[in-house]
C-alpha cells in the first residue's frame, strides 16, 4: 500500500494540546513538513515564544529553545551569527512579536538577519485568556476591551507585514491564512519559501499567518473561520509584501551587500 | 611578559577575546563604551561577531542565543542597562546557560550620573531578576585583576553553566594601569547540552518553563538542582584578599574601588598605631562569610566601606552574627570616597561611643 500521509519526522509523535480549531497545530505541521522536505532537520533550531505556542518545544522533534516574551528575534540573531550553518526560525504570536517584542523584530528585520520568522496573528493574547493584542481589530471585543476596541483609547492595530516591508533589510514578507485547504497550500508554499531563502543565504524572511483562536474569541470553530474571512482578511489583506528573491531580487540583494 | 598601559574597559575586552570570547553584543552607555568600541574593532579581525544591539534587552538575548548554541559570549553595560537585562539573566540561570556580563556601575538610582558607584551590589549578588537564582559575581579592584578575573569568569561560567557577572565601576573602567595580558589557550569545554541541530538524535530543548502535563514538582526540583550548584560555588569559588587582619582590632571590609582606597586608609591608620586590617571580598557571590566569621572571633570591631548607602554591610553583619559591632561608612550617588574620610571613620569607630552610627562623607 502506498502511504500518502504521515507525521513529519521533525514533529514528535504527540497529540497537540491546542484547543479545537486553533491554528497553531496546523502551522506547526506546516513548519515540520517544510523542515523535512528541505532536509534541514539536522541543523534546524526553533525558538518558541511566550504565548500558547510556548509548548512548541514539546511538539517539534528538533533542537528547540524557549525564551523571554518578545525576544525570539534577538535570540535568533545570537544563534545565527554564531552558527551560520544552523537553520534558525522563530515562531511568535502577535503579543510576542508586535507588542512586547516590536523593537526586536523591527531591528532583526532592519539588519536583514538571515533567519525565518513565522508570525501567528490571532488578534488576541490566547495564552493569558483573550486580552487585547496589538492586532485586535477596531471594535473587536476582548477581555480588556469589553466594549470593543475603541481606537481612540486603545490605539489602532499594527499591520506588521506592511510595516516591515518599508525596511530595506527583509527579502521576503508574505501574509497568508490557514482557513481553507487552498489557503493552507498557499501558506505551505510561503513557509517553504521563507526557509529556502535562509538555506540559500538570502536573508530575513517573514510569514504572517492569520490564525484562529476560537476559545478566546468565544466563537465556534466554524464562526471563527467566518471571522478570519470576513473581518481579519479585510484589515489584513493576504499577499506578498516584499519579495527580493525573485523579480527585482538580485538588485535588492546587492544593495544589502549580502550576495 | 611585557606590560601594557591600558584602560580597565579595554583590558577587560582584550582579556575576553583571549579567553575565547568571539561573540559580543552590547548597547552604548557611559562609562563602559570603550568595551563595545574595542570589540567592534577587534572581533571582526578574528572572525568574531560584534553587534550593536537595539537595546540592552536585545543585547542580553543575543548573548542568550549565542550561549545556547555553545559559544563563549558576553555583554557589558552600566547600571540602567543592567537593570534591563534582569529578566533574561533569570531565564539564563534557570536554563543553565553560561555567559559573562559586565557591569561598570554608575551613580543611581534612575539615570543618576556617570560617576563610579557600587550601588548595584544587591542587584548583582541577590539575583537581580525574578525567582531564586544567583550569579557568580567577581569584584576586581585593579586592572590586572580585571584581566585575570575576566578569563576566570568565562571558565567558571562554562563550568557551572551559569551567568557570571564582573562588577566594576566607572573608576575601574576608565583608569589606566600597566597590565600583563596573558597568552592563553582558551579552555575547550564539552557542551553536550548546546543546540547544534538534531543530527542523528532526537531534538534537544533548552528551557526555563516546567509545566508540561506530568511535570509536577519539576520546577521545584530544578530549583534544588540550581541550589546545589550555588552551594558548590560557596564551597569552592570564594576569593578574598586579607590585609593585616591577623592582629587587627578594627577590620575594614570593602570591595572593588572602595577597597583600593580603604587599603591606603588602613596603612595610614597603622602608621598612627591603630591596629587596622582589611578584608576585600573578590567574589561577592559566593561571599567570604566563613572568613569574616572567623576573623569576627578575634577582631574588636568592623567597619564596612562602600560607595553606596550600605548594601554589602548587611552581608557582613550576617557573617559577623553579633560577635562584634559592625559600622558603615559610605557615600551614594556616584561620590568617590576619600582616604581621609575613611581614616576619620576609623578614628570615630575606635574612639567613638556609637560604633554602629552611619558616618556620612564630609562635603
Ligand atoms: C514579560 C512577560 N510579560 C507578560 C507575560 C504574560 N504573557 C504570557 S503569554 C502572553 C501573551 C501571548 O499572546 P500572543 O503572543 O498573541 O500568543 P498567543 O497565545 O495568542 O498565541 C502574555 C502577555 C509573560 N510571560 N512575560
Ligand atoms: S487559547 Fe487560542 S491560541 Fe491558545 S490554544 Fe486555544 S485556540 Fe489556540
Ligand atoms: Mg495572539
SS3 for B242? strand
How open is the CA angle B332-B333-B334, to the nearest 5 degrees?
Answer: 100
Instruction: Supply the range of the domain harboring residue B77.
Output: 4-179
Question: B155 with B14, same domain?
Answer: yes
Closest among A205, A212, A200, A210 to A237, alpha carbons compared: A210
Confidence of residue A258 (pLDDT cuts 50, 70, 90): very low
What pLDDT does B1 receive?
76
Question: B9 with B142, same domain?
Answer: yes
Residue A7 is assigned to a structural domain of this protein: no
Question: B148 with B271, same domain?
Answer: no
pLDDT over 80 at B261, yes or no: yes
What pLDDT does B74 receive?
98
Closest approach of B123 to chain A, Cα-based (Å): 20
Number of domains comprising chain B: 2
pLDDT over 50 at A250, yes or no: no
Chain B residues touching A81 at Cβ < 8 A: 23, 49, 51, 62, 66
Q: Give the chain A residue whose CA is nearest to the CA of B213.
A: A17
Mean pLDDT of chain B: 95
pLDDT over 80 at B85, yes or no: yes
> How remote is the CA of residue B325 from the centroid of ligand 1, in Å?
50
Closest among A95, A141, A236, A187 to A228, alpha carbons compared: A236
pLDDT over 80 at B357, yes or no: no
Q: Which of B57, B62, B84 to mutate to test the interface with A (most CBs of A within 10 A)?
A: B62
Q: Which residues contact B137 (CB under 8 A, 6 or more apart)?
A: B124, B125, B164, B165, B166, B167, B283, B284, B285
Nearest to A75 among B54, B61, B71 (CB): B61
| Conformation bin of residue A51: beta by default, left when phi > 0, alpha when psi is -120 to 50 | left
Pairing assessment for the beta strands B276-281 and B240-243 based on DSSP bridges: antiparallel
Q: What is the DSSP letter of B188?
A: P
Question: B174 with B35, same domain?
Answer: yes
pTM above 0.80, yes or no: yes
pLDDT, average across residues B22-28:
98
Question: B30 with B174, same domain?
Answer: yes
Q: Which residue puts its alpha carbon closest to atom 1 of ligand 1?
A: A69
* Count, residues in chain B: 363
Residue A9 is assigned to a structural domain of this protein: no
Closest approach of A61 to chain B, Cα-based (Å): 5
Nearest to A81 among B49, B203, B209 (CB): B49
Confidence of residue B188 (pLDDT cuts 50, 70, 90): confident
Three-state SS string over chain A comes to CCCCCCCCCCECCCCCCCCCCCHHHHHHHHHHHHHHHCCCHHHEEEEECCCHHHHHHHHECCEEEECCCCCHHHHHHHHHHHCCCCEEEEEEEHHHHHHHCHHHHHHHHHHCCCCEEEEEECCEECCCCCEECCCCCCCCCECCECCCCCHHHHCCCCCHHHHHHCCCCCCEEEEEECCCHHHHHHHHHHHHHHHHHHHCCCCCEEEEEECCCHHHHCCCHHHHHHHHHHHHHHHCCCEEEEECCCCCHHHHHHHHCCC
pLDDT over 90 at B355, yes or no: no
What pLDDT does A2 receive?
76
Confidence of residue B187 (pLDDT cuts 50, 70, 90): confident
Around Cβ B184, how many Cβ atoms within 10 Å?
12
Domain end, chosen from B132, B154, B179, is at B179
Pairing assessment for the beta strands A63-66 and A44-48 based on DSSP bridges: parallel
pLDDT, average across residues A169-193:
98
> How remote is the CA of residue A74 from the centroid of ligand 3, in Å?
20
pLDDT, average across residues A194-221:
97
What pLDDT does B265 receive?
98
Domain end, chosen from B157, B179, B201, is at B179
B14 CB near a chain A CB, below 8 Å? no
Confidence of residue B130 (pLDDT cuts 50, 70, 90): very high
Residue B354 is assigned to a structural domain of this protein: yes
Instruction: Supply the range of the domain harboring residue A51.
Output: 23-256
pLDDT over 70 at A251, yes or no: no
pLDDT, average across residues B331-343:
95
| ipTM computed for the complex | 0.95
Phi, psi of A189 (to 5 degrees): -60, -45
pLDDT over 70 at A249, yes or no: no
Indicate which CATH number applies to the domain containing A31: 3.40.50.970
Confidence of residue A246 (pLDDT cuts 50, 70, 90): low
> How remote is the CA of residue B81 from the centroid of ligand 3, in Å?
29
What pLDDT does B45 receive?
95
What pLDDT does B356 receive?
45
pLDDT, average across residues A9-15:
94
Residue B221 is assigned to a structural domain of this protein: no
Q: Which residues contact B14 (CB under 8 A, 6 or more apart)?
A: B6, B38, B42, B147, B181
d(CA B252, CA B328): 9
Tens-digit pLDDT profile for residues A72-110: 999 999 999 999 999 999 999 999 999 999 999 999 999
What pLDDT does A151 receive?
98
Residue A18 is assigned to a structural domain of this protein: no
Mean pLDDT of chain A: 94
Indicate which CATH number applies to the domain containing B119: 3.40.50.970
Nearest to B61 among A71, A81, A85 (CB): A71
Q: Diameter of chain A by CA atoms?
A: 61
What pLDDT does A248 receive?
47
d(CA A35, CA A82): 21
What pLDDT does A75 receive?
98
pLDDT, average across residues A4-32:
94
Number of domains comprising chain A: 1
pLDDT over 60 at A253, yes or no: no
For a mutational test of ligand 2's pocket, the pick from A97, A122, A222, i.e. the residue with the most ligand atoms closer than 8 A to its C-beta, is A122
pLDDT over 50 at A245, yes or no: yes
Phi, psi of A184 (to 5 degrees): -65, -40
Peptide bond into B270 cis (omega under 30): no
Q: Cell 502577535 appears where?
A: A94
Domain end, chosen from B179, B212, B228, is at B179
A204 CB near a chain B CB, below 8 Å? no
What pLDDT does B360 receive?
52
pLDDT over 80 at A252, yes or no: no
Residue A210 is assigned to a structural domain of this protein: yes
pLDDT over 50 at A256, yes or no: no
Instruction: Say if residues B156 and B237 touch (Cβ distance below 8 Å).
Output: yes
Q: Cell 578575634 appears where?
A: B298
**Ligand of minimum distance to the alpha carbon of A218:** 2
B146-183: b or e for each residue (b if 16 or more CB lie within 10 Å)? Answer: bbbbbbbbbbbbbbbbbbbbbbbbbbbbbbebebebee
Indicate which CATH number applies to the domain containing B295: 3.40.50.920
pLDDT over 80 at B296, yes or no: yes
pLDDT, average across residues A170-193:
98
Amino acid at each position: 500500500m502506498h502511504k500518502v500521509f504521515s507525521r513529519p519526522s521533525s514533529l514528535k509523535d504527540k497529540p497537540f494540546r491546542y484547543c479545537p480549531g486553533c491554528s497553531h497545530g496546523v502551522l506547526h505541521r506546516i513548519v515540520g513538513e517544510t523542515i523535512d522536505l528541505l532536509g534541514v532537520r539536522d541543523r534546524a533550531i526553533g525558538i518558541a515564544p511566550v504565548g500558547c505556542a510556548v509548548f512548541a518545544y514539546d511538539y517539534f522533534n528538533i533542537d528547540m529553545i524557549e525564551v523571554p516574551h518578545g525576544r525570539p528575534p534577538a535570540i535568533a540573531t545570537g544563534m545565527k551569527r554564531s552558527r551560520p550553518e544552523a537553520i534558525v526560525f522563530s515562531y511568535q504570536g502577535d503579543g510576542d512579536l508586535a507588542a512586547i517584542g516590536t523593537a526586536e523584530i523591527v531591528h532583526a528585520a532592519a539588519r536583514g538577519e538571515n533567519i525565518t520568522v513565522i508570525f501567528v496573528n490571532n488578534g488576541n493574547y490566547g495564552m493569558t485568556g483573550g486580552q487585547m493584542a496589538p492586532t485586535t481589530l477596531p471594535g473587536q471585543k476582548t477581555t480588556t476591551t469589553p466594549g470593543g476596541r475603541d481606537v481612540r483609547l486603545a490605539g489602532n492595530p499594527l499591520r506588521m507585514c506592511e510595516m516591515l516591508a518599508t525596511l530595506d533589510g527583509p527579502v521576503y514578507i508574505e501574509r497568508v491564512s490557514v482557513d481553507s485547504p487552498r489557503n493552507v497550500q498557499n501558506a505551505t508554499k510561503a513557509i517553504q519559501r521563507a526557509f529556502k531563502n535562509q538555506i540559500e543565504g538570502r536573508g530575513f524572511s517573514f510569514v504572517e499567518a492569520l490564525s484562529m483562536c476560537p476559545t478566546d474569541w468565544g466563537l465556534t470553530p466554524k464562526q471563527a473561520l467566518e471571522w478570519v474571512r470576513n473581518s481579519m482578511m479585510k484589515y489584513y489583506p493576504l499577499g506578498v509584501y516584499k519579495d527580493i528573491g525573485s523579480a527585482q531580487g538580485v538588485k535588492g540583494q546587492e544593495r544589502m551587500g549580502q550576495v | 611578559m611585557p606590560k601594557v598601559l591600558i584602560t580597565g574597559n579595554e583590558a577587560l575586552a582584550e582579556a575576553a577575546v583571549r579567553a575565547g570570547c568571539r561573540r559580543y553584543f552590547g548597547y552604548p552607555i557611559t562609562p563602559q563604551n570603550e568595551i563595545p568600541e574595542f570589540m567592534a574593532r577587534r572581533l571582526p579581525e578574528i572572525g568574531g561577531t560584534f553587534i550593536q544591539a537595539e537595546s540592552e534587552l536585545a543585547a542580553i538575548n543575543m548573548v542568550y542565543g549565542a550561549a545556547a548554541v555553545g559559544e563563549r559570549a558576553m555583554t557589558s553595560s552600566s547600571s540602567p542597562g543592567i537593570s534591563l537585562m534582569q529578566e533574561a539573566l533569570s531565564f539564563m540561570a534557570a536554563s543553565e546557560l553560561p555567559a559573562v556580563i559586565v557591569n561598570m556601575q554608575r551613580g543611581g538610582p534612575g539615570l543618576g550620573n556617570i560617576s563610579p558607584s557600587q550601588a548595584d551590589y544587591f542587584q548583582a549578588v541577590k539575583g537581580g531578576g525574578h525567582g531564586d537564582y544567583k550569579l557568580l559575581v567577581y569584584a576586581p579592584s585593579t586592572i590586572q585583576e580585571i584581566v585575570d578575573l575576566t578569563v576566570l569568569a568565562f571558565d567558571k561560567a562554562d563550568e557551572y553553566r551559569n551567568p557570571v557577572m564582573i562588577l566594576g565601576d566607572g573608576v575601574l573602567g576608565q583608569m589606566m594601569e600597566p597590565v600583563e595580558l596573558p597568552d592563553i589557550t582558551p579552555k575547550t569545554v564539552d557542551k553536550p547540552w548546546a543546540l547544534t541541530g538534531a543530527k542523528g538524535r532526537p531534538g534537544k530543548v533548552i528551557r526555563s518553563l516546567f509545566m508540561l502535563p506530568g511535570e509536577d514538582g519539576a520546577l521545584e526540583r530544578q530549583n534544588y538542582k540550581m541550589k546545589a550548584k550555588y552551594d558548590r560555588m560557596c564551597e569552592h569559588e570564594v576569593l578574598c584578599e586579607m590585609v593585616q587582619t591577623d592582629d587587627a582590632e578594627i577590620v575594614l571590609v570593602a570591595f572593588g574601588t572602595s577597597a583600593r582606597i580603604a587599603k591606603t586608609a588602613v596603612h595610614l591608620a597603622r602608621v598612627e598605631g591603630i591596629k587596622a586590617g582589611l578584608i576585600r571580598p573578590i567574589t561577592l557571590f559566593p561571599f567570604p562569610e566563613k572568613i569574616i566569621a572567623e576573623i569576627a572571633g578575634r577582631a574588636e570591631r568592623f567597619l564596612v566601606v562602600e560607595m553606596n548607602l550600605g548594601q554589602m554591610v548587611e552581608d557582613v553583619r550576617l557573617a559577623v552574627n553579633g560577635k562584634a559591632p559592625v559600622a558603615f561608612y559610605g557615600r551614594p550617588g556616584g561620590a568617590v570616597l576619600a582616604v581621609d574620610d575613611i581614616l576619620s571613620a576609623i578614628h570615630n569607630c575606635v574612639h567613638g561611643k556609637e560604633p554602629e552610627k552611619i558616618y556620612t562623607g564630609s562635603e
